Amino acid sequence: MEIKAVDVFTVGETVRFTKDQMIDSGTIVLTDMLGVVKPGHYVCTPGISVMIRPIGANWEFGFLYDGLERVESEPTKEEIEKSIYLNENSFEIYHERNGRTGLLKIKGTIRTEEQAHIEIGNLCMRLREENSSGHVKRLGRVLRVFKHHQDIDLLNQLADELMDDRNRLEVLDKIMVWNEQGEVGESVPVNYGNEVRKRTNRNG
C-alpha cells in the first residue's frame, strides 16, 4: 500500500520504490527496487522522508515517502535478486527508461556530456598530429556513448567511418563540426547528492 506522511517506519522494515529517481550518478533507484529502513539521519524529516538502503547497495539516502511502498510480507528470492540486478545496472536502466540526463558512462566512468565534448575535441586534435590506433578507438568509443542523444545515428556512422585510414581527416572534420555545434544536455545535480551519500556510506 502507498505510504502516507503520518505513517511511522520501523528500522529494518523493507520498502519498495514505486518510481525512478536519480539523485546523482551514484544514487539511483528504480521502480520495483527494494530497500531497508535504516536509523534516522539529520537529513530526514519525520513524517516526510526516511533513510533507506537499497538492497545490494552500500549507501543510504533520505527518500521522501512519496515514491515508497511498504512491503507487507517477506520478499521472495526472485524479488531480492531482481532488486540487486536493478541496483547493479541502475545507471543504464534509468537512461533506457527516462532518456537523456546529460550524464554518460564511458568504460565504467561517469562523465558529463560537457566533459565528453572536451575529450572529443582533444582526441581530434591529437589524431591530426599523430595517427594513433589507441586514440581512434577511444574517440569511437566516446562518440557511441551518446546513446540517447538525437544525433546518435550520425555519431555511430562517424565512429564507423573513423576506422578507415583513407578518409580519416575528412571524418575528423565532420566530428569537429558536430562537436562544436553539439547540444550539451543538462545534467542532474550531483554535488548535493554525493555529499549526503558520502556521509551515510557504510560497509555493514
pLDDT over 70 at 6, yes or no: no
Average pLDDT across the chain, whole number: 84
Record the cell numbers describing residue 62, joined without a space. 533520505
- Among 201, 135, 196, smallest CA distance to 162 is for 135
Which DSSP symbol is given to 164? -
Give me the pLDDT at residue 93, please: 95
Geometric angle at alpha carbon 85, from 84 and 89, rounded to 5°: 115
pLDDT over 70 at 201, yes or no: no
Q: For 79, phi and psi rounded to 5 degrees?
A: -65, -40
pLDDT over 90, % of the chain: 54
**What's at 129, amino acid-wise?**
E
Burial of 26-45, coded b for 16+ CB within 10 Å and e otherwise, reads bbbbbeebbbbbbeeeeebe
Record the cell numbers describing residue 55, joined without a space. 538492497
pLDDT, tens digit, 9 for 90 and up, residues 27-76: 999 999 999 999 876 666 766 788 999 999 999 998 888 889 999 899 99
Give me the pLDDT at residue 190, please: 37
Beta bridge partners of 109: 106
pLDDT over 70 at 197, yes or no: no
Cβ proximity of 75 and 116 under 8 Å: no
| Least-confidence region, from 79-83, 100-104, 135-139 | 100-104
What domains lie within the chain, and their CATH numbers?
14-99 (2.30.30), 104-181 (no CATH)
Geometric angle at alpha carbon 14, from 12 and 18, rounded to 5°: 145
Average pLDDT for 105-122: 91
Query: Rounded to whole angstroms, how far apart are CA atoms 90 and 87?
Result: 5
**What's at 115, amino acid-wise?**
Q
